[in-house]
Amino acid sequence: MLSTSTMYGTGSTCTAAQSNLSSMTLDAANARCISLGYAGVCGTGSLNYVSACTYEASSGGYYYRGGYRTFTCKECSVSNPCLN
């Protein structure tokens, strides 16, 4: 099992911040798998939150939430599908 570093998603709402975090960590996981010679992430893995959704009033105001993704890498094909 691999994991991304802790990242912080931001957005105009908590939902948007969580969505941003999810996208960022999935992109990072996929890039890591590719750098290791695999086709990419198998499934989506698990998103783990390390902080509550927090409002930051500076810079116009935004919400942020921290977390990381645990994941596995697989070479996927029709005969060897990825299953999480």
Residue 76 in any domain: the answer is no
Question: Quick one: pLDDT at residue 77?
Answer: 64
Query: Does the pLDDT at position 66 exceed 90?
Result: yes
Residue 18 has pLDDT above 70, yes or no: yes
Instruction: Please indicate, yes or no, if residue 83 is contained in any of the structural domains.
Output: no
Residue at 33 is within a domain: yes
User: Is residue 79 one of the residues assigned to a domain?
Assistant: no
Instruction: Determine the pLDDT at residue 57.
Output: 92
HEC sequence for 5-36: CCEEEEECCHHHHHHHHHHHHHHHHHHHHHHC
Boundaries of domain holding 24: 2-71
- Is 77 among the domain residues? no
Does some domain include residue 53?
yes
Percent of the chain with pLDDT over 70: 89
- Are 40 and 34 a contacting pair, CB within 8 Å? yes
Cβ proximity of 4 and 28 under 8 Å: yes
Tell me whether residue 45 is in a domain: yes
User: What's the pTM value of the predicted model, to 2 decimals?
Assistant: 0.85
Do the Cβ atoms of 32 and 2 come closer than 8 Å? yes
Domain count within the chain: 1
pLDDT tier for residue 49 given thresholds of 50, 70 and 90: very high
Does 83 or 36 have the greater pLDDT score?
36
pLDDT band at 60 (very low <50, low <70, confident <90, very high): confident
Residue 13 lies in a domain: yes
